[in-house]
Amino acid sequence: MAMRPQIIDIEPTHAGPEQNLHHVDALDIEKPDLRTQREDAFGDEENAEIKYKVLKWWQGGLLMVAETISLGILSLPAAMAGLGLVPALIVLIGMGLLATYTGYLIGKFKQMHPHISSMADAGEVLMGRFGRELFGTAQLLFLIFIMASHILTFTVALNTITGHATCSIVFGIVGMVISCLMSLPRTLAKVSWLSLVSFVSIFSAVMITMIAVGIQNPNAIVHPTVETNLITGFTAASNIAFSYASHNTFFTFIAELKDPKDFPKALALLQTVDMTLYIVASVVIYRFTGADVASPALGSADSLISKIAYGIALPTIVIAGVINSHVAAKSIYIRVFAGTDRMHKSDLVAVGSWIAISFSLWLIAWIIASAIPVFSDLLSLITALFGSWFTFGFTGLFGLHMSRGLWLSSPKQTIQTFVNIFSICVCVILCGLGLYVSGKSIHDSTSSASFSCTMST
């Protein structure tokens, strides 16, 4: 079985420049724009022992739903309290529509460059070797921070369920070990079956919370707008952005699809489900809780209901983190073994390497979770540092790269160029202001301490 990447020559066109540019729409381009096309990281799997490219579109969609609708939804009601009902809805819907467009750009960019299996590969297309290292390092750090937020939420959940029966550090270690064990499968197809459990888990927990707060606080008063400040308002906006910040994993999902051209269907499934659930859950919980809504939102109900909700939500708290850890481990694993037959083996070296990589990533995530033990501040920080770029910034660059030389070639292309630039501007604002407000919020927080047995929610 030949595993080394192959180079496929593509005949150059002899048409004139004006002929090549005639009626070309960047998002309708089907063929790569490079003279050579590299094979994907998994190579020919016809006789492989371990096959990766077997993921059906609906499995990919469920993975995306499970990874996206997890911690983000738990911060949305509090984000509404920080911004007010109407401004929060505008931001929530606007970012959802923009995230749908940028997700579509990722699918088209992958279609033009079939060898891409991670953000590192995409960075190489844009900026060469430097881009590969920059995008790859940023993706890995972002995924580790997300894993840390899942450990932190797991700790908060067990503290709530048990009434702080033991030190929070112990709960964090338990979460780390469980997550590491669930990260053992090497293919997304096997992980995808966990994603359905994850979605049912978070959906049920949110529904229980919505019903409970509606019964407990039927006369709660909320206002269309509220007085806020830069720190509170922008932290809320960053947490809304985080609820859509799963684009950094899309290349890996597409790479393991049986038919990569099915990605738009998986994306449509994701965005339909997440935008609908986000709007309903955030509005209902905020409506019946008001300014005192907790973050994570499952803590907004009374003590008993919160314990039940957190207990039901435990699967998604773990599984969504596992999906992110899988993508992180896969990026390292491919870099180490790509082009060799080790990728498709089940021997001691292959399996042992995967376990070692996964354990190391979860250990680092636990350290971060213990060092920044404030849920909303942690979400705001990682959104500013990484989520803004992967969801809106880099994706805008992908769009401009695909349409280079054609930015103003037609009215439709001009609009697309404007949206790409707007997406990059959103990223710059989220990153710059987000770093300031999240850093100041963490610095000013006195409610919890790093590596403490008590942990703030």
CA distance 87 to 40: 43
For residue 391, the model assigns a pLDDT of 92
Residue 87: which residues within 8 A CB-CB, separation 6 or more?
225
- The beta strands (E) that lie in 132-269 are given as none
Three-class SS of residue 404? coil
Predicted pLDDT at 454: 63
Residue 156 lies in a domain: yes
Predicted TM-score (pTM) of the model is 0.83
- Reply yes or no on whether the pLDDT at 5 is more than 60: no
Name the residue among 259, 246, 248 with its Cα closest to residue 114.
Answer: 259
170 occurs within a structural domain:
yes
Q: Rounded distance, CA 56 to CA 77, Å?
A: 33
Q: Is 117 in a helix, a strand, or coil?
A: coil
| Maximum Cα interatomic distance, the chain, rounded to a whole number of Å | 74
* Exposure string for 230-249, b = 16+ CB within 10 A, e = fewer: ebbbbbbbbbbbbbbbbbbb
Label the pairing between strands 7-9 and 36-38.
antiparallel
Per-position b or e across 205-217, b if 16+ CB within 10 A of its CB: bbbbbbebbbeeb
DSSP 8-class letter at 331 = H
Note the pLDDT of residue 455.
Answer: 54
343-372 CB burial, b ≥16 within 10 A, e <16: bbeeeeebeebbbebbbebbebbbbbbbeb
Q: What is the pLDDT of residue 374?
A: 63
381: pLDDT strictly greater than 70: yes
Q: Return the pLDDT at 125.
A: 93
Q: Is residue 330 part of a domain?
A: yes
Query: Taking the CA of residue 87 as centre, how many other CA atoms within 13 Å lie in the half-sphere pointing to its CB?
Result: 15
Write the CB contacts of 415 (distance below 8 Å, at least 6 apart in sequence). none
* Residue at 235 is within a domain: yes
- Binning the chain into helix, strand and coil, the percentages to the nearest 5 are 75, 0, 25
pLDDT in tens, 310-337: 889 889 889 989 999 999 999 999 988 8
CB atoms within 10 A of CB 283: 19
Domain that includes residue 245, residue range: 48-371
The answer to whether 151 and 144 have CB atoms below 8 angstroms apart is no
Contact indicator for 362, 441 with CB cutoff of 8 Å: no
Asked if residue 404 is part of any domain, the answer here is: no
Question: What is the pLDDT, as a whole number, of residue 11?
Answer: 41
What CATH number does residue 250 fall under? 1.10.4160.10
* Ramachandran area for residue 5 (φ above 0: left; ψ -120 to 50: alpha; else beta): beta
The answer to whether residue 419 is domain-embedded is no
Q: What is the mean pLDDT of residues 252-259?
A: 92
Q: 219 or 304, which is more confident?
A: 304
pLDDT of residue 202: 87
Q: For residue 9, report the phi and psi dihedrals to the nearest 5 degrees.
A: -75, 140
CA-CA distance, 384 to 239, in Å (whole number)?
10
Q: What is the pLDDT of residues 61-118, one digit of tens each?
A: 999 998 888 767 877 888 888 888 899 999 999 999 999 999 999 999 999 999 898 9
pLDDT tens readout for residues 12-33: 444 444 444 334 454 554 444 4
Is residue 218 a part of any domain in this protein?
yes
Mean pLDDT of the chain: 83
Residue 408 inside a domain? The answer is: no
Regarding predicted confidence, which is higher, 231 or 375? 231
Average pLDDT of 151-157? 86
Could you give the 3-state DSSP secondary structure of residue 36? strand
Average pLDDT over residues 421-443: 84
Residue listed under structure tokens 């990722």: 106
pLDDT band at 134 (very low <50, low <70, confident <90, very high): very high
Dump pLDDT digits (tens) for 275-292: 999 999 999 988 888 877
Q: What is the rounded end-to-end Cα distance, in angstroms, of the chain?
A: 52
CA atoms within 13 A on the CB side of 442: 18
Domain count, the chain: 1
